[in-house]
Amino acid sequence: MSAASVPAAPEVLLRISNVGMRFGGLWALSEVSFDVERGTVLGLIGPNGSGKTTLMNVVSGVYRPTTGEVTYRDRRIADVPTHDVCHLGIARTFQVVKPFASLTTRENVAVGAMYGRQGGKRSTRASFERAQELLELVGLGRVADRPASDLTTPDRKRLEVAKALALDPEVLLLDEVMAGLNATEVDEALQLLRDVNRRGVTLIVVEHLMKAIVSISTTIVVLAEGKKIAQGAPADVLAAPEVIEAYLGSRWRKRQEQLKEIEAQREEAARVQPPEAHG
């Protein structure tokens, strides 16, 4: 169940404790708590509006939680300025991808390599070399010299991942990285993520694609209406009734009950009157 490189005693890198986020009168998140262990892949799922992106924003320091805290190796993320978050070891991709338009693809990634966690030790040339490496890894080697504004959407997503990797993160947050990809592209993306995880990067993946999440996650956390409603191994979580209900809604449950009613009535009727023989 656990990923390849988990040490004997699982080390908690990221701790989300009792996080709540309020916007105006609305609680987008409440009482969310879980740990993220080194080397794992944590899938974060939930129906639309359940607060997944909000949680990502809190974990990556974009939002300061109204209640609770997120700590990374005992440092509160909310206390760290934006530009230092990656220096801690956390990197993320964004749903709305806006690369540095007038720079080439390679330059885009190189910036991350220059200023990320290991950036201080890298020269300009070393940064470009590292950038090229990462571009090959995500499959963008051939467009390394093109202006980033020329890239197609799937390529831009790859660029996002490459940029995040250039920061040498210990934990990588991926926000709907597979949206809009076709089946082949999804498989390629999953392969890439597994690769990255094998190299020791802990992943937190937010996705809508069930199959993708299931195939890659070691643990899954389910959010609904801002609360954590389930956490555990993929198989267990997906079978849990509260999870199904969260996705399909209470009408589904009522429908199930109605169906059961009708079944019961039919059985009743069958007992009282045997079905007519058909000629």
Partner 1 sequence: MALLLAVPLTHNGYIEIVFRNILMYATMAYGWNMIGGYTGYVSFGQVAFFGLGAYCSAVLSQFGVDNLLADVLVACAVNGGFAVLVGLPVLQLKGHYFAIATLGVALALTDIIANLDALGGTAGMRLRQVDEAHFSVYYYAMWIVALAAILATYFIARSKLGYAFVAIRENEDAAAVLGISPRRYKITAWAISAMMAGSAGAVFAPANGFLDPSIGFSVDSNVFPIVMALLGGIGTVAGPFIGAIILAGANELLQRYFIKIHTLFFGAMIVLVVLLLPRGLVWLFGLRGGVRTWLKSLTEYKA
Distance CA 51, CA 49 (A): 5
Is 82 a binding residue for partner 1 by CB under 8 A? The answer is: yes
* Binding region for partner 1 (CB under 8 A) out of 44-52, 80-88, 135-143, 264-272: 80-88
Alpha carbon of 206 to those of 41, 52, 172, 173: distances in Å? 11, 7, 11, 8
Nearer to partner 1, 7 or 81 (CB): 81
Q: Which residues contact 30 (CB under 8 A, 6 or more apart)?
A: 20, 67, 226, 227
> Which of 171, 169, 123, 142 has the alpha carbon at shortest distance from 158?
142
Q: How near is the Cβ of 116 to partner 1 at its closest, in Å? A: 5
* Binding region for partner 1 (CB under 8 A) out of 46-54, 100-108, 189-197, 205-213: 100-108
The pattern of x and - marking residues 192 through 221 that bind partner 1 according to CB under 8 A reads ------------------------------
Q: What is the phi/psi pair of residue 230, to 5°?
A: -165, 150
Is 121 a binding residue for partner 1 by CB under 8 A? The answer is: no
Looking at 48, 102, 184, 273, which residue binds partner 1 (CB under 8 A)? 102
The pattern of x and - marking residues 6 through 45 that bind partner 1 according to CB under 8 A reads ----------------------------------------
CB burial of 126-141 (b: ≥16 within 10 Å; e: otherwise) equals ebbebbbebbebbbbe
Q: What is the DSSP letter of 112?
A: H
Is 92 a binding residue for partner 1 by CB under 8 A? The answer is: yes
Q: How near is the Cβ of 71 to partner 1 at its closest, in Å? A: 20
> HSE (CB half, 13 Å, CA atoms) of 79?
8
Distance CA 263, CA 131 (A): 62
Alpha carbon of 5 to those of 37, 82, 197, 213, 237: distances in Å? 11, 29, 9, 19, 23
Is 169 a binding residue for partner 1 by CB under 8 A? The answer is: no
Distance CA 205, CA 216 (A): 9
Is 124 a binding residue for partner 1 by CB under 8 A? The answer is: yes
Nearer to partner 1, 86 or 196 (CB): 86
Is 110 a binding residue for partner 1 by CB under 8 A? The answer is: yes
Q: How near is the Cβ of 102 to partner 1 at its closest, in Å? A: 6
Is 81 a binding residue for partner 1 by CB under 8 A? The answer is: yes
* Binding region for partner 1 (CB under 8 A) out of 37-45, 82-90, 151-159, 262-270: 82-90
Helix axes 153-166, 183-198, angle to 10 degrees: 0
Q: How near is the Cβ of 153 to partner 1 at its closest, in Å? A: 17
DSSP-assigned letters across all residues of 37-74? ETT-EEEEE-STTSSHHHHHHHHTTSS--SEEEEEETT
Pairing of strands 171-175, 202-206: parallel
Is 115 a binding residue for partner 1 by CB under 8 A? The answer is: yes
- How many residues form the binding site for partner 1 (CB under 8 A)? 28
Residues forming the site for partner 1 (CB under 8 A): 81-87, 92, 98-103, 107, 110-112, 114-117, 119, 124, 127, 163, 166-167
